Structure 1
Amino acid sequence: MKTILITGTSSGYGLETARHFLARNWTVIATMRTPRMDILPASPNLRILPLDVTDTASIAAAIDAAGPIDALVNNAGIGVVGAFEATPMAHIRKIFEANTFGAMAMAQAVIPRMRARRSGVIVNVTSSVTLAPMPLAAAYTASKQAIEGFTGSLAHELAHFGIRAKLVEPGYAPTTRFTQNTSVKVEDLILEAYADFAAPIFAQFAKPALTTKETDVAEAVWAAVNDTTDTLRFPAGQDAVALFQAA
């Protein structure tokens, strides 16, 4: 039986991905900053561990408790929507700590163990904004673009050891609490000078032509984890697939 560790499983894509792998008889290590025991079906194949990807000690404790893992899914992260000039640098640093450095730290923690076993896969969840950057998300886009380059390089670096690195690129999902972990309110980041520009964009967010379901992302992660070719990118959702094909 194979084991997968997923970060950010308290809601959204991470939670659905945990359900997806549990249903397919994997051992799932579901991690979140504040563990909740009631959000996943009871199973002897499930373990729920505390993990804050921005905390080195928390990462080390989770990896030690997890034991050997076959797949790591870096899903945890935060988002922000707003004018870049109004976004405090302190918050931009928090975005990079969670979305970029957190994923890198998790990868660095598991690579030695995977290398010793000469097998494993690291899946980094980014976003379709890396395929077509959208306005009012400059800092978020930058944090995810960094992971795209990181993963591409890592795939080459680790292939020699039998370790694969993959990207899952979800599209826009209005049901996902995109800014759930942010401490900055969206309205504080839209300056009056941007109001006319932002209004139609937010209207489009509310009624997108195509959307991504949480199950789309879980299925893309499943495909990425089980892929043994040199395919790097796995777009998830109709909109992401359309952007990927047009790129």
Structure 2
Amino acid sequence: MKTILITGCSSGYGLETARLFHAKGWNVIATMRTPWEGILPRSERLSVMPLDVTKPESIAAALGASGPIDVLVNNAGIGLFGAFEATPLAQVRRVFETNTFGVMAMTQAVLPQFRAQRSGVVVNVTSSVALAPMPLVAAYTASKMAVEGFTGSLAHELEPFNVRVKLVEPGYGPSTRFAQNTDLRIDELIPEAYASFARPIFAAIAQPAAVTKETDVAEAVWHAANDETGQLRFPAGPDAVALARASSQERLSQ
């Protein structure tokens, strides 16, 4: 029976991924900064642990308590809406601490085990903004694109040890509390000079043409975790799939 550890399971993609893997018979370690009672059903195959990916001592404690794992899913992340001109660099660093350096820290912590056992999968959850950058999320996009480059390079580096590294690229899912989990509220980072530019963008975000569901991402993580081919990218959701196809066609035409 395989064991998976997932970060950022308090809501959205992480929570649904934990549910899916548990339903499919895996041992699931669902982690989040502040666990709360009843978020997941009680089961001998499912445990909920505190884990803050920005704190080395928290990572060490969670991995020490979890024992050997077969799959790590780096899902924890925060958003940041706003005009980059008005975004304090301290907030940019906070986004990178979770979205980028948190992914690297978690990955680095499990690699000695994966390398020694000559097996293991790391699944990094990024975003469709890495396929098609959009305005007013420059810092967030940068944090996710950094993970994309990191993942692609690491996949080659770990291939001799039979350790697979994958990317899951979700589209926009308004039900995943992305906006609620942003580092600052939107209004605080939109100067008056950007207001007319930002208004239609936020209107489109509020009523997207296509949305990604939590189940789309959970299923993409399932396929990525079980894939034994060299496939790196797993777009999740109809909008992400469409963007991935367009991006692929654009590269072929160049």
Structure 1 residue 199: Cα displacement: 0.6
2: distance between equivalents of 1:192 and 1:80? Answer: 18
Whether 1:106 and 2:106 are equivalent positions in the alignment is yes
Corresponding residue number in structure 1 for 2:250: none
Aligned equivalent of 2:28? 28
Deviation readout 1:136-187 (Å, 9 max, x if unpaired)? 0000000000000000000000010010000000000111211434442210
Judge conservation of contact 2:12–2:214 (CA < 8 Å) in 1: yes
Distance 1:191 1:143, change over 3 A: same
Q: How do residues 44-59 of structure 1 correspond to structure 2 at under 5 angstroms? A: 44-59=44-59
Match of 1:41 in 2: 41
**Paired residues of 1:53 and 1:106 also in contact (CA < 8 A):** yes
Matching of residues 166-177 of structure 1 within 5 Å: 166-177=166-177
Q: Provide the C-alpha distance between the structure 2 equivalents of 1:183 and 1:79, rounded to a whole number of angstroms.
A: 6
CA contact (8 A) 2:78 2:183 kept: no
Aligned residue for 2:176, secondary structure, equals coil
> What amino acid is aligned across from residue 218 of structure 2 in structure 1?
A
> Which one-letter code corresponds to 2:58 in the other structure?
S
**2:219 maps to 1:236:** no
Q: Provide the C-alpha distance between the structure 2 equivalents of 1:109 and 1:134, rounded to a whole number of angstroms.
A: 32
2:119 counterpart residue number: 119
- Are 1:79 and 2:79 counterparts? yes
> How far apart, in 2, do the equivalents of 1:192 and 1:181 lie?
24
Q: Distance in 2 between matches of 1:34 and 1:221?
A: 23
Aligned length: 247
Q: Which residue of 1 aligns with 2:200?
A: 200
Percent pairwise identity = 71
Contact map agreement 1:80 1:178 (CA 8 A) in 2: no
Tell me, yes or no, if the aligned pair for 2:2 and 2:27 is still in contact at 8 Å: yes
Q: Residue 54 of structure 1: CA displacement?
A: 0.1
| CA distance in 1: counterparts of 2:126 and 2:119, whole angstroms | 23
Per mean C-alpha deviation after superposition, the further-off stretch among 199-208 and 170-179 is 170-179
CA apart distance, 1:4 = 0.1
- Quote the Cα distance in structure 1 between the aligned partners of 2:235 and 2:98: 21
> Gaps (5+ residues) in structure 2?
248-254
Q: Any idea what SS the aligned residue of 1:175 has?
A: helix
CA contact (8 A) 1:120 1:162 kept: yes
1:235 is paired with a residue of what secondary structure? strand
Moved more, 14-23 or 35-44: 35-44
Query: Letter of the aligned partner of 2:4 in structure 1?
Result: I
State the secondary structure of the residue aligned to 1:68: coil
TM-score, normalised with respect to structure 1: 0.99
Distance 1:221 1:179 in 2: 22
Which residue does 2:130 correspond to in 1?
130
Moved beyond 6 Å, runs of 4+: none
TM-score normalised by L of structure 2: 0.96
The residue that corresponds to 1:224 in the other structure is 224
- Give the CA RMSD over aligned residues: 0.8
The whole-number CA distance in structure 2 between the counterparts of 1:124 and 1:37 is: 27
Q: CA deviation at 1:35?
A: 1.0
Structure 1 gaps, min length 5: none
Matched, 1:164 2:157: no
Q: Name the CA distance, whole Å, in 2 between partners of 1:128 and 1:237.
A: 9
- Post-superposition CA distance 1:57-110 (Å, at most 9, x none): 000111111110000000001001110011110000000000000000000000
Given that residues 168 and 236 in structure 1 are in contact (C-alpha distance below 8 angstroms), is that contact kept between their aligned partners in structure 2?
A: yes
Residue 141 (structure 2) aligns with = 141
Counterpart position of 1:18: 18
